[in-house]
Structure 1
Amino acid sequence: MSVSPESLVSAAGRLVQPVAGDAATLTPGLRARAAAILLRMALDLALDAYWLRVTPSMTRVGKHRMLCLEWYAGRDTARRCRATWSALSAACHHHTGELPPSPAEIHTRVHEVTALVATLRTGPRASASATPATNT
């Protein structure tokens, strides 16, 4: 069974904003955390699919694929992926004494991951052989 990043994002969206009339058996915080896990999985799958098209060896180590993304997908896409993945990772983990992520926060992440999945699906930027711009 193969799951697409889009189906995971859709499931996360349904968790964060359940259909009116559905019996909510999970608290909003638990639904938000479950949605964060689905969103991070969707982003991981989208990154794997991206790197399989560009260079399959980059799917082996998660840190490398995030670090090298700037060279292939552009600085903005790489920055957005790092920031979103980090925020979702923090939301996925339960820490004693901390509140779970808010549904509003995760709803924002649904939109971010949707945009990133679409961007990564289009493949590397046109000037993939060019080096990224330096900070000035």
Structure 2
Amino acid sequence: MSAAPETLVTAARKLLLPAPGTVHTLAPGLRARAAAVLLRMALDLALDAYWLRITPSMTRIGKHRMLCLEWYAGHDTARRCRTTWTSLSAACHYRGYELPPAPAEIHARLMEVTGLLVALAREDT
């Protein structure tokens, strides 16, 4: 069983913008990295749902589904998916010699993923 993309985005939002009075047990960089993982999972699930509607065989091919998106969902949506997925992937990986992602950067990605969920849900070409 997997969570809905919207549920993952909500969880990421709670990590980035915790409720006032919440005790923070994780550093902001760790919360941002965890939010990036959730957002990338949400984008992957939204892409799977999109391709399941369009052509189910595309859900089995990771890289090709991103490459072919331009011909089905349009140039702008495909470009936004590629850049957002790439930046979230980079933010997900831990490297000892780099600082963790900034919460503001991941918050911008959260806004982009939210818009992409809407765009992919309405694309029925």
Same fold (TM over 0.5): yes
Tell me the distance in 2 between the aligned counterparts of 1:10 and 1:53.
24
Cross-structure match for 1:83: 83
Return the offset for 1:58.
Answer: 0.4
Cross-structure match for 1:93: 93
Tell me the distance in 2 between the aligned counterparts of 1:118 and 1:60.
22
In the alignment, is residue 113 of structure 1 matched against residue 113 of structure 2? yes
Cross-structure match for 1:103: 103
Alignment of 1:24-103 (within 5 A): 24-103=24-103
- % same residue: 70
The higher radius of gyration belongs to: 1
Q: Identify unmatched segments of 5+ residues in structure 1.
A: 126-136
Q: Deviations over 1:71-130 (max 9, x none)?
A: 0000000000000000000000011110000000001111000000110011234xxxxx
Tell me the distance in 2 between the aligned counterparts of 1:105 and 1:60.
30
Tell me the distance in 2 between the aligned counterparts of 1:123 and 1:36.
24
Structure that is richer in helix per residue:
2
Cross-structure match for 1:133: none
The two structures, once aligned, show a CA RMSD in angstroms of: 0.8
Return the offset for 1:70.
Answer: 0.2
Across the two proteins, how many residue pairs are aligned to each other? 125
TM-score (norm 2): 0.97
* Contact preservation (8 Å) 1:39, 1:113: yes
TM-score (norm 1): 0.90
Cross-structure match for 1:128: none
Structure 1 runs of 4+ aligned residues shifted over 6 Å read none
Q: Identify unmatched segments of 5+ residues in structure 2.
A: none
One-letter amino acid of the counterpart of residue 43, structure 2: L
Tell me the distance in 2 between the aligned counterparts of 1:12 and 1:76.
24
Return the offset for 1:61.
Answer: 1.0
